[in-house]
Amino acid sequence: MFDVTANGARIPALGFGTFRVSEDDVKRIVPKALQTGFRHIDTAQIYENEAAVGEAIEISGVARKDIFLTTKVWVGNYRHDDFIASVDESLAKLRTDYVDLLLLHWPNNDVPLAEQIGALNAVQKAGKVRHIGVSNFNTALMADAVSLSDAPIVTNQVEYHPFLDQSAVMDAANRFGMSLTSYFAMADGKVFENDVLKDIAADHGKSVAQVVLRWVIAQNNVIALSKTVTEHRLAENFDIFDFELTAEQMKAIHSLANANGRIVSPDGLAPQWD
């Protein structure tokens, strides 16, 4: 395991995500993820499993100070007072007095971005969050967020996998000293049917999932969120630090990107993508 350093934050390059993971599964698998070696846990208010994540961390046997914990504020809570109250509620559910990283989950044009960023800064200054960031922002919104914020923006969490070119967002992140955090790295399962990825996996004696996760974190200041509710895949997903992809293999995986690669683009939330 290694860390990505971005605007003063040290973020474990491989995280464990809990999107669409039930409370029962969270309480079962997150302690095992932490015992396996994961030290970066990602959740969100809208996932409705923050309380389970908090319980899972407590029973894991891993000290809270050794875990990088991320959550996200939902768009309906972006008005300043609602934002502050929602963060307090998240902290109570997570059984902690701070989170390491707090993100705006999606853009919301109904609330001025300055108000959203102001609330992020307020909870950071109050010590409720160590670092702040955004999620699902395009490059224009990234620039606006950086210009409006007193505290550094440390990441933009976006859909990123071999079939989606995110070079514009990645270039912007690098300009701003930010990291990029990849979700949906497995492209909702599509990676497992790809012959290029299968061949590369065979070359290394690894699984396709391991190759994809390694490809993500091999890039400059890019973090991968993995997800599983299966124990043997948990260990497999963590076992990606004993091999490296060649330059030719990295290029071959990048070449899989196509114009129709985006999977997540909900109406009413998604910005004008780059």
CB of 160 within 8 A of CB of 274?
no
Q: d(Cα 146, Cα 64) in Å, to the nearest integer?
A: 29
* Beta-carbon contacts of residue 88 (< 8 Å; ≥ 6 apart): 128
Q: At what angle do helices 247-254 and 208-217 cross, to 10 degrees?
A: 100
Q: Is 47 a residue of the active site?
A: yes
**CA–CA–CA angle 123, 92, 69 (5° rounding):** 65
As to burial, measured by CB atoms within 10 angstroms (0-12 exposed, 13-18 middle, 19+ buried), residue 232 is exposed
Q: At what angle do helices 50-60 and 80-94 cross, to 10 degrees?
A: 40
List, in sequence order, every residue forming a beta bridge with 156; answer none if it has no partner: 134, 180
Q: d(Cα 185, Cα 211) in Å, to the nearest integer?
A: 11
Q: Which residue has the tokens 């996998």?
A: 161
Q: At what angle do helices 208-217 and 231-238 cross, to 10 degrees?
A: 40
In a 3-state reduction of DSSP, which class is residue 268? Answer: coil
Active-site annotation, residues = 47
